Homo-oligomer: A and B are copies of this chain.
Amino acid sequence: MLSMQPIGYVRSPYRNTQEIPKGLGAKHEAEGSLEIRSELEPGLTDIEGFSHLFVIWAFDRSEGCKLVGTPPTDDRPHGVFATRSPRRPNPIGLTVVELLCREGPVLRVRGIDMLEGTPILDIKPYLSNVPRERLRRGWLAEAEARNGERP
């Protein structure tokens, strides 16, 4: 058993999950902020140099766990570890955001898909991409193909 405390909270335009774009081709262009606890501000030193960050956060309003479910991007069920479903064994979310600027302990970012007030557990620099020619996207690519979408 591991216990964690929020390092800060998300300021988001989304107040409920229905407002968050979902499904194939959904764009996450929303801007918002990551408000880090002021005593942790030294931990943000030099973060401005990175264009993109991993944000690890908690699904604090999801309930229970569903091992197999149908995501909004498909009409077929998949395992929870093959999706971004909120109903996970550990309610951890992961989002890549673009860092726009920093104001003290507050990071202004683009690409928010979390709800207002979401607890942040960690932030890490996004360092490198997977080589494009080696990336396969499983059921998501198949669902896009069936719908005539391009990745």
Contact = CB atoms under 8 A, between A and B. Distances in A.
Determine the main DSSP class of A at the interface with B.
Answer: mixed
A92 B122 contact: yes
A145 interface: no
B82 A46 contact: yes
Nearest to A131: B129
Interface of A: 1-5, 7, 36, 40, 42-52, 54, 56, 58, 60, 67-68, 77-84, 88-92, 94, 96, 98, 119, 121-130, 132, 134-142, 151
16 contacts: A2-B4, A2-B5, A2-B58, A3-B3, A4-B4, A40-B67, A42-B79, A44-B81, A45-B82, A56-B56, A56-B94, A92-B121, A94-B122, A125-B140, A129-B130, A129-B135
